Structure 1
Amino acid sequence: MKPLVRNAALNSYVEVSQSLGIDPRSLMKRVGLDPVGLAVQDRWISGVAVVQLLELSAAVAQRGDFGLLLAERRRFSNLGRISLVIREEPDVRSVLELLARHEYMYNEMLRSRLSEAHGLANLKVSLDLGEVMAARQAVELAVGAFHQVLRTFLGTRWQAVSVCFTHSAPADTGTHRRVFGPVVEFDREFNGIVFYASDLDLPNPMSDPLLRTYARQYFESIAVSRDTTVQDRVRELIEVLLPTGRCSIEQVASSLGVDRRTVHRHLSASGETFSSLLDTTRTQLAEQLVANPGRSLTEVSRLLGFSVPSAFSRWFSGRFGCSPREWRRRRTRQQPFVQE
């Protein structure tokens, strides 16, 4: 399977594209990405398609700094759930090590490595795309995003010793110097950031020692294995796509960067079909959502991907033997005994 990235990788893509006078919707469709889906930050999409989109956008806009313009707008929260954990890490070293160790949780094509020698720290960044293709914009976005993370913890006045790129300099380096300062260098042997090793041990000013244990416990509960299966990925995508009303095998296959036959083949190998996995996932979610009296059944119907509540009610009755309202009433009546 091709590497995936979260939709958050394209945060601010629409705004930057429009500011440069190019049409983000048409460009996304050209590489097989769904513009509407960008609203769901945790949805997984094809990493290769994202790389192609950035290169295409840079060419159409005639801006060699397109990826860096996106990096400038990066927010700490774009990392997703892992951002809640790293903000409580004690120092910069712990932050970078955690990001590198669990990068597959937010970007499957990203490879980062931290090393130290002679008082300097090297944060090397690369992309594993599974094929040879131009990726200048994606590389600059990744390096720029790490640079933003470092400034989040070390302060906006912090400056690296050097910011390196293996590709040649663009005709105009104004954006690069604005983002990185005068230390940006091209035609180097690696992509990444060089800074003083002593910066690694500087304390994280945002960290609360009392919250650190809770943050780590939370992280352990959400951390997924690097060996996540296709079945796991499909189940995750079903959960994300159901509330949009567009949960189909075509949409899932598009997010995975493959065709529907490939999805069928992988699921069949594990004894599943897309329909059976959809039904199982929907059933599990229904139990959780209907049991919550704080949600209206109309809202639950929408979250489970039904266009009208009546369709949800018929489906639910077929699975649980009673209407969702009756099931909730029985569950509420049983609740005191469950708690005891």
Structure 2
Amino acid sequence: MKPLARYASLHGYVDLCHSFGIDPVPLIREAGLDPASLNLQDRWLPASAIAVLLERSAAVSGRQDFGLRLAEMRRFSNLGPLSLAIREEPDVRSALQMLVRYQHTYNEAVLTRLFETEGLATLRVELDFGEPLESRQSAELAVAVLYRLLRGFLGPHWKALAVCFTHRPPDSAAAHRKFFGPTIRFDHDFNGISLVASDLDSENKMSDALMRPYAQHVLESLESPKGAVIVDRVRDVIELLMPIGRCSVDQVARSLGVDRRTVHRHLAEVGETYSSILNAARVDLAQRMVGSSRYSMVEVAELLSFSAPSNFSRWFRTQFGLSPRAWQDRMQHPEDS
């Protein structure tokens, strides 16, 4: 299946677009994403959609440093539970090893590897979106986030021996030199960072030995059983595609990089069907949407991919025993029930 990433990967995207005077909503929708989902930081989406969005945003804004600027808006906490575990490691080396081991819990398309030889340490960043894509902005975002993480551990005056990118230099590299320093290299044979290996021995001053077992327990809890991962992936893509009317099993399968038979087979192995997951997603979303006065019933029907409001009403009555309007009134005025 195609790699996924958390919406947290786009933290700061909307604000960055506004700072460049461009409207982010059409760009988000053009990439096949739902603008409202950007607030759901722990929801998963195809990593390829992020790559497409970043490249298009760079083109529209005219900013070749778009990915770099997005990295500047990141916070350590955007790594979610992974940030908690990394922060409690005793030194920089173990923190990076933790990042390498568990990065898939945050972004499955980014693979970071740490190599050490003859006093030199190299962090190589590889990107795999499951299909050929332009990845300049994604590469700069990933390497810049890693660079900021190292500076967080090693201090604001720390400098890398080299920061490398496989793509060509921008028309002006001033922003890149300001961010990374004078040792930036383009047209290199890998994306990543080279540093003195002894830097990795530096103590992590944020670490608290008493917190380490708890942080490790939290991180290990993210390793869901295989069946749960499959169900979560299918449901996340359903919820992503449903508002734009493209949540058929074929379209979900394409988003995951497999065929429909593979989706059915994986779900059958854990006692689920595509229809059961689609219905569960609709039930959850319907409760939230109908319970709110933000959406009309026609809008709810459309967002849940029903062909007509009457079909949605019949389905809703079957699920909840009430019409959508009656259920909404009960939720909004429980004292009258």
Q: TM-score, normalised by structure 1?
A: 0.76
Task: Let me know the Cα RMSD of the aligned residues.
Answer: 3.4
Partner of 1:58: 58
Question: Deviation string for 1:51-93 (max 9, x for gaps)?
Answer: 1111111111111111101011111011111111111111111
1:34 CA drift (Å): 1.3
Cα offset for 1:130?
2.0
Secondary structure of 2:28's partner?
A: helix
User: For residues 213-269 of structure 1, what are the alpha-carbon distances to aligned partners after superposition, in whole Å with 9 as ceiling and x for unaligned?
Assistant: 11112222232368975324235678xx69xx969982999888628x956861465
Q: Distance in 2 between matches of 1:177 and 1:185?
A: 10
2:233 alignment partner, SS class: helix
The within-5 A match list for 1:1-340 is 1-224=1-224, 229-235=229-235, 250=247, 258=255, 266-267=263-264, 270-271=267-268, 272-277=272-277, 305=288, 307-308=290-291
Long gaps (5+) in structure 2: 293-314, 323-337
Secondary structure in 2 aligned to 1:205? coil
**What is the SS of the residue equivalent to 1:115?**
strand
Q: Work out the CA distance in 2 between the residues paired with 1:113 and 1:277.
A: 36
The 3 A distance-change label for structure 1 pair 115 and 131 is same
- How far, CA to CA, are the matches of 2:58 and 2:282 in structure 1? 40
Is the Cα contact below 8 Å between 1:45 and 1:256 reproduced in 2?
Answer: no
Percent identical across equivalent pairs?
46
Alignment check: 8 A CA contact 2:105 2:222 kept: no
- Deviation sequence 1:184-224 (CA, Å, 0-9, x none): 11111111000111111111111101111111122222323
Kindly provide the CA deviation profile for residues 67-123 of structure 1, in whole angstroms up to 9, marking residues without a partner as x: 101011111011111111111111111111111111111111111110011211000
Could you tell me whether the CA contact under 8 Å between 1:306 and 1:312 is conserved in 2? Answer: no
Q: Any gaps of 5 or more consecutive residues in structure 1?
A: 284-300, 319-340
SS at match of 2:67: helix
Q: Which residue of 2 aligns with 1:290?
A: none
Residues 317 and 25 (structure 1 numbering): CA distance in 2 closer, same or farther, change over 3 Å?
closer
Q: CA deviation at 1:161?
A: 0.9
Answer yes or no: is the 8 Å Cα contact 1:90–1:203 preserved in 2: yes
Tell me the secondary structure at the aligned position of residue 288 of structure 2.
coil
Q: 2:210 is matched by which residue type in structure 1?
A: L
Distance 1:315 1:231 in 2: 21
What secondary structure is seen at the aligned counterpart in 1 of 2:123? strand
How far is 1:306 from its partner? Answer: 5.8
Distance 1:161 1:65 in 2: 21
Q: 1:288 is matched with which residue?
A: none
The residue identity in structure 1 corresponding to 2:103 is: E
The one-letter code matched in structure 2 to 1:89 is E
Tell me the alpha carbon deviations over residues 292-327 of structure 1, each in whole angstroms, 9 at most, x when there is no partner. xxxxxxxxx989536239x99995789xxxxxxxxx
Which amino acid letter does the alignment assign opposite residue 155 of structure 1?
Answer: G
3-state secondary structure, aligned to 2:111: strand
**Contact kept in structure 2, 1:234 and 1:252, CA below 8 Å:** no
Q: Quote the Cα distance in structure 1 between the aligned partners of 2:78 and 2:8.
A: 6
